[in-house]
């Protein structure tokens, strides 16, 4: 998954589809009183994260009351493989007609990427639909970057889902979202996890670093000389860690962030002296499944850390570029005092904490009690609460 580029003449084609869809939506009337709900996430490229979990919940519990549609990228094949019902191709005339006819839209990343392409230019035409941003993760580690096209979409959104009062405060005070638009219901994908479920012994490690927008435009040589790449190579080729993984029969999965696809080949061709480490692109696996099956996490500032806190699994935060990260992006959470895992500033620190986890047997999260500071619900009813709020 990566940010999509528009094709030649696509603007004209989109304009014609939008105009005709808008006109026809005003002419035709619904045959039933059933509400139309459109859901999308991950730019339509994967059935993943909160949007997909909430969609599955609605299909299972609300299909007799609602007409539920999933928006997807026509270049993908997952809809057919997963047999997702009522799936609609993004960018088609039907997509825009449903958009103007819908009672609700629910998106995980962006309305114009998940629900209706380029709709930011025409959002003023839709005054009817209730629009909800379900978010693809919990806010905290990254300050929001608001692009020009985001402004009309954010102001048009009716509701923003929040995992807790902690996250609500961020969206209220930092984003400037009116309080009446903020729904504290929990995070949908937590419904698929068992709360407080550490492994008796860590055998599966997930490594996932987040993206940095200032690396996007680097040349290959510049990227290979970046701290991001060098520190990743340093950790994954360290002899002590390689021997530790092999001796303890630990399997390590390195999942590359989708926005790093441009440089993916430099990671996947990396050779290590052990077969215990394997690299995966975001497109190859289900992140939710990997989070659930992993016994611990090594990350920098990825929001999936909250999932591991929820399940009481160990986390090592590798904050090798913290100074640059805070300067270039910023964080709502204090990276020096409020991390809910082991803070490693160097590869030596990573080795020290990995020894503690794998050799000393610290298979639970020592900071688990901090969970109630950031999370409000632990009952696997987040989807139920959100649906009740939206469809009551």
Domains and CATH numbers, the chain: 10-186+379-391 (3.40.50.11820), 204-374 (3.40.50.12580)
The DSSP line for 252-302 is EEEEEPGGGGGGHHHHHT---S-TTEEEEEGGGS-HHHHHHH-SEEEESS-
Return d(Cα 241, Cα 235) in angstroms, integer.
Answer: 8
Dihedral-angle region of residue 49 (phi above 0 means left; psi in -120 to 50 means alpha; beta otherwise): left
Q: What's the predicted TM-score (pTM) here?
A: 0.92
Give the pLDDT confidence score for residue 30 in this predicted structure: 67
Give the pLDDT confidence score for residue 4 in this predicted structure: 54
Q: How confident is the model over 117-147, as pLDDT tens digits?
A: 999 889 999 999 999 999 888 999 999 877 7
**Chain position carrying tokens 């990343």:** 109
Dihedral-angle region of residue 139 (phi above 0 means left; psi in -120 to 50 means alpha; beta otherwise): beta
Element (H, E) at 119: none
Q: Write down how long the chain is.
A: 392
Give the pLDDT confidence score for residue 240 in this predicted structure: 96
With a cut of 70, list the residues of the chain below it in pLDDT. 1-10, 30-32, 268-274
Return d(Cα 171, Cα 182) in angstroms, integer.
Answer: 8
Give the pLDDT confidence score for residue 148 in this predicted structure: 72
The DSSP line for 42-110 is GGGT-S-HHHHHHHHHHHHHSTTTEEEEEEE-TT--HHHHHT-TTEEETTSHHHHHHHHH-SEEEESS-
Give the pLDDT confidence score for residue 217 in this predicted structure: 84
Give the pLDDT confidence score for residue 1 in this predicted structure: 45
CA distances from 351 to 107, 297, 360, 365 (A): 39, 14, 13, 17
Give the pLDDT confidence score for residue 10 in this predicted structure: 62
Give the pLDDT confidence score for residue 8 in this predicted structure: 47
Give the pLDDT confidence score for residue 9 in this predicted structure: 45
Return d(Cα 363, Cα 197) in angstroms, integer.
Answer: 10
- Is 112 in contact with 275 (CB distance < 8 Å)? no
Q: How confident is the model over 317-365, as pLDDT tens digits?
A: 999 999 999 999 999 999 999 999 999 999 999 999 999 999 999 999 9
């Amino acid at each position: 998954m990566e940010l999509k580029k528009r094709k030649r003449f696509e603007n004209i084609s989109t304009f014609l589809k939008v105009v005709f869809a808008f006109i026809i939506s005003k002419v035709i009337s619904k045959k039933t009183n059933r509400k139309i709900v459109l859901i999308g996430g991950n730019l339509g490229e994967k059935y993943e994260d909160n949007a997909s979990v909430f969609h599955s919940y609605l299909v299972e519990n609300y299909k007799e009351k609602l007409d539920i549609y999933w928006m997807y990228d026509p270049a993908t094949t997952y809809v057919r493989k997963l047999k997702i019902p009522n799936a609609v191709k993004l960018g088609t005339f039907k997509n825009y007609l449903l958009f103007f006819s819908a009672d609700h839209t629910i998106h995980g990343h962006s309305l114009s990427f998940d629900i209706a392409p380029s709709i930011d230019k025409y959002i003023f035409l839709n005054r009817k639909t209730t629009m909800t941003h379900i978010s693809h993760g919990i806010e905290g580690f990254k300050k929001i970057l608001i692009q020009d096209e985001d402004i009309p979409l954010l102001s048009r959104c009716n509701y923003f889902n929040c995992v807790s009062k902690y996250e609500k405060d961020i969206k209220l005070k930092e984003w400037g979202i009116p309080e009446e638009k903020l729904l504290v219901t929990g995070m949908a994908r937590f419904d698929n996890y068992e709360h407080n479920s550490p492994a008796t012994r860590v055998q599966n490690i997930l490594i996932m670093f987040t993206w940095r927008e200032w690396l996007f435009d680097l040349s290959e040589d510049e990227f290979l000389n970046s701290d991001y790449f060098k520190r990743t190579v340093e950790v994954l080729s360290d002899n002590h860690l390689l021997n530790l993984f092999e001796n303890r029969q630990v399997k390590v999965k390195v999942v590359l962030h989708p926005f790093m696809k441009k440089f993916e080949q430099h990671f996947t061709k990396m050779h290590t002296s052990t077969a215990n480490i394997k690299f995966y692109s975001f497109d190859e696996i289900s992140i939710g499944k990997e989070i659930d099956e992993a016994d611990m996490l090594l990350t920098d500032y990825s929001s999936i850390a909250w999932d591991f806190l929820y399940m009481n699994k160990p986390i090592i935060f590798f904050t090798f570029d913290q100074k640059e990260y805070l300067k270039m992006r910023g964080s709502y959470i204090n990276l020096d005092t409020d991390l809910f895992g082991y803070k490693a500033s160097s590869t030596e620190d990573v080795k020290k904490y990995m020894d503690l986890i794998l050799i000393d047997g610290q298979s639970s999260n020592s900071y688990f009690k901090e969970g109630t500071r950031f999370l409000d619900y632990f009952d696997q009813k987040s989807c139920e609460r959100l649906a009740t709020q939206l469809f009551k």
